[in-house]
Amino acid sequence: MVRSVCFVALLIGAMVVNCSNTIDPLTHISEIKVVLDRYYIAQQKEDMTALSALFAQDVDLVVFGIGVEERLVGWEAVQGMFQRQMDSVEGLQTHPADQVTKISKGGKAAWVSSLNHVRGTIGTQTVEMDYRTTIVLEKRGKKWLIVHVHNSLQTGQERQGS
């Protein structure tokens, strides 16, 4: 009888622990959407402090820009890129579309792909373009942080809608 009671108590304990570790993808997706909204707003407002809070400050953080050889490694390099962008582009507005978010099975990593439209003014010239983005985030403690960004220009066929 004592063994049966112990077994049932152990089984209930395992179920409680297992339930507390379940991953709610909708909660994660909602949290990630907030991070990405803040990312685009921080760029628009030229808020380096807000951008800094969204990125992992890792030396192996990698961001690929749309330039042919634009590969930035480490937070300092990425921060420098954002500062150059803020110094040269006025009225930056990015509009992501077709966002698809995937969460890893363990719930500690996520990646988001989107097709973006950006508009800004450099000097006296207004520039608009479409590009693709994949952003990888990692959950550290209770906070989602950006650990990788990859941007690329859309191909001619994509721009024409083919």
Amino acid 69: pLDDT:
78
User: Residue 41 corresponds to which tokens in the numbers above?
Assistant: 């707003």
- With a CB cutoff of 8 Å and minimum separation 6, the contacts of 48 are 42, 79, 82, 83, 86
3-state secondary structure of 142: coil
- With a CB cutoff of 8 Å and minimum separation 6, the contacts of 23 are 103, 105, 106, 107
Residue 149 CB neighbours (<10 A): 19
Type of residue at 142? K
**Rg, C-alpha atoms of the chain:** 21
- Ramachandran class of 16: left when φ > 0, alpha when ψ lies in -120 to 50, beta otherwise: alpha
Q: Which fold has domain 24-160?
A: Nuclear Transport Factor 2; Chain: A, (3.10.450)
Amino acid 66: pLDDT:
87
Amino acid 14: pLDDT:
44
- Where do the structural domains in the chain lie, given as residue ranges? 24-160
- How do the pLDDT tens digits run along the chain, 162 residues long? 555 544 444 444 444 444 445 678 789 999 999 999 999 999 999 999 999 999 999 999 999 998 777 899 999 999 999 999 999 999 999 999 999 999 999 999 999 999 999 999 999 999 999 999 999 999 999 999 999 999 999 776 455 554
